[in-house]
Structure 1
Amino acid sequence: MSETIDQTTDAPVTPSPTDALWVERNGVRTYTGFSARGARVEVGPVEAGAVFTPGELLKIALAACAGMSSDRAFARRLGDDYAVTIRVEDPKDMAEDRYPTLTEKFEVDLSWLDQTDRDKLVTIAQRAIDKACTVGRTLKAGAEVPPAQFAPPAEQG
């Protein structure tokens, strides 16, 4: 079991058990995703308007995971209030209906660092991402996706 560190206290944090996640259908191809912690996200096709597509959520998850994993490295060198935007804009292969490449592009001002310090910070940030980004590590490992399971709705008591 790997151990993470709480960035506010530098204390080890034991990973929580898997939080319940689910989606509920709202209408034709539109869903709301929920977490047991109360978070929600609207999901659907582009035509549905202000929703995320599942592919967009995949890209956002990868970008956010890379950002969270590298946050401490950047904050130590750039300060707690550093600004960063992380984009994942690689196109979908329409014929295969998948994303063959997902590239994280960090937009962060490192111009005030000399080249040696810039290279060192980028290396440290990349190591942090490679070690701690669960989404990236899962994708790189080629996570198994078994066939969907189908069951009647749980009875409400």
Structure 2
Amino acid sequence: MTEQTTTPGATSTEDTATPSPTDPLWVERNGTRTYTGFSARGARVEIGPAEAGAVFTPGELLKIALAACAGMSSDRAFSRRLGDDYRTTIRVEDPKLVAEDRYPVLTEKFEIDLSMLDDAEREKLLTIAQRAIDKACTVGRTLKAGARIPDAQFEQPTGG
């Protein structure tokens, strides 16, 4: 059963935000602690603990989502200046705080060749790229804002 409550007089942005449409996402259990994630567009990803082999852990997916979002957000700025065929690798390698089972810091590290630019051009491009990330990276903006995560909802499947 899903139970929803409303706080009388609530005025937070969560209560007044207009959600954007999104394709359905879900995971299905394959076995002990292993799942497959799906999108309605047909994408899929294998998820599980590191010892399960060729799967992503949920923490790795979080880091990959942040890196990809930063890359996609800054792509136009870099491609305008460096050309459509520029190459980059974006790493998020910060360690987990094991005692608290969380990542206290997530740092995007771009490996990108800017040697053809002088210092002023390089600084200008990096400023523009960072502004693009700050403005358009949904994952980073969500993490920085401290997304509210309500308790999980448990529903009985329908049908027979």
Partner residue in 2 for 1:73? 77
**Are 2:14 and 1:32 equivalent residues in the alignment?**
no
Q: CA deviation at 1:154?
A: 3.7
Say if 2:7 is the partner of 1:23.
no
CA distance 1:116–1:79, shift in 2 (3 Å)? same
Does structure 1 residue 152 correspond to structure 2 residue 156?
A: yes
* 1:8-157 matched pairs, under 5 angstroms: 17-155=21-159
Deviations 1:4-38 (A, max 9, x none): xxxxxxxxxxx961110000000000000000000
Structure 1 unaligned blocks of 5 or more: 1-14
RMSD (Å) for aligned C-alpha atoms: 1.2
Instruction: Specify the code of the residue in structure 2 equivalent to 1:20.
Output: P
1:125 partner amino acid = A
Corresponding pairs, count: 142
How far apart in 2 are the matches of 1:52 and 1:104? 18
Classify the secondary structure of the residue corresponding to 2:37. Answer: strand
Q: Which amino acid aligns with 2:49?
A: P
Where in structure 2 are there 5+ consecutive unaligned residues? Answer: 1-18
Task: Please report how far the alpha carbon of residue 152 of structure 1 lies from its aligned counterpart in structure 2 after TM superposition.
Answer: 1.2
Distance change (3 Å), C-alpha of 1:154 and 1:133: farther
Which residue type is aligned with residue 145 of structure 1?
I
> Percentage identity across aligned positions?
82
SS at structure 2 position matched to 1:95: helix
Question: 2: distance between equivalents of 1:153 and 1:86?
Answer: 40
Higher relative contact order (CA 8 A, sep 6+): 2
* Separation in 1, partners of 2:43, 2:116: 38
Distance 2:94 2:154 in 1: 33
